Every structure is written in C-alpha cells, then in structure tokens.
Amino acid sequence: MRQELAGTPVAMVSGYYDFTGSLEAATASLAHAHAVLARAAAIGAQGIRIFTGKKRGGDADAAIWERTVGMLRELSDAAGPVILAAELHDWNLMDTEANALRLVQAVDRPNFGLILHPERLADDLAGGIVRLAPWIRHVHVRTTAAGGLDPAVAWEVVVESLPRTCFAGWWSIEHFAPGPDRCVPAGITALRRLASAGGLGR
C-alpha cells in the first residue's frame, strides 16, 4: 500500500458474481464472495458491491430468485459488520426499482442494501429515491470524459432528495474515460456545487 493511502477508509470492495447462472457458477460465486468478504474485513472495508449475475429480474424464474436470495442471506449472515450492497444495474436481478425492492425485501437482512445508480430511476427519480431510501447504502456518480456529471441524470434532484431521507453514506465517482486524476476531482467539485451546506454524506 502506498504510504499516502495508509489509514484511508475503504468504502467498498467490488467483485463480480453470477448467482443466476448455472449451479456450478453460482456455487463458485458464493465461494468467491466469501473470500471477498474476508478480504474486506481484513482491510476494514465498510462494504462489498454485489452483482447477482447476467439475468434481469423479469427474466429469472422463481427457482433462480430463490437460490440467489438464499446465497445472499448466507453471505449477509457471515458478513458481520460488513455491508453487502447490490448495485442497481442492467442485467442483474436489481435492474429496476421494483426488482431492487423485491430483492432487498426477500433477503431481509439489516446489512444487505443497495448501491444507487440514479439513472435506473429516470422515470421517477425523486420518488424512487424515497421508496428505496431505507436500503440505500452507497451512491455511484457517473462522470463524463471531461469530468462533468452525467447529463442524463438530474443530479440536483439526487442531491436534494437523498439528504432528506437521512442518507449519510458514501458518494463515489464512477469515471470510465482517460484522465481520472484530473476528471475525478472535477466531478467531485461539480457535485459539491450542487449540494447545500452539509447536504452530502461523504
């Protein structure tokens, strides 16, 4: 670890899993997730990111949902203080607001929640945030190649709505283009400009 990072809190450890594919793939993913949990605990990470696999919620049958929920309950029970946060994302069981609610309510563990991707709530952003608020543990903020905030999202609505739900978790910049050393700080600055005093968590 670079010396300047020593003592820096780790908000999330990200891994990839497939609980919705074959039984062999799901079993391997469960073992991998247990290993990721152990690593997260060892470095003091607050949570791990969960992807459920390559099936959308509406494309998965009852057996796949049952298997996935069972495995996520096992992981949650083994996680101790580490949070499991399922990322709202296409090609996963939590691809829509309704399916995200179905998943968190089925898993029904206090340390199992969601990573908010606001673009997945485009039809009713403010309302979706309020409905998902009890389970939101982390927020992904996507930036453009130039470091600005993703124009497809009404970030002013996100910044106004989330603090009102008493959210005090992490906001993280998601930047997929070159120049992260320049663009990530620019994204943070742009986000802070939208925030009212004390509005953001961290």
Digit-coded pLDDT (tens) for 39-73: 999 999 999 999 999 999 999 999 999 999 999 99
pTM metric for this prediction: 0.89
Q: Indicate which CATH number applies to the domain containing 26.
A: 3.20.20.150
Report if residue 129 sits inside a domain: no
Claim to verify: residue 154 and residue 77 sit in the same structural domain = no
One-letter amino acid at 158 equals V
Count the domains in the chain. Answer: 2
For residues 43 and 103, membership in a common domain is answered with: yes
> Has residue 28 got a pLDDT over 60?
yes
Per-residue model confidence as pLDDT tens digits over 73-105: 999 999 999 999 999 999 999 999 999 999 999
Tens digit of each residue's pLDDT (9 = 90 or more) over 119-139: 999 789 999 999 999 999 999
Evaluate whether residue 183 is within a structural domain: yes
User: Which range of residues forms the domain containing residue 90?
Assistant: 10-116
Query: Is 3 within a domain?
Result: no
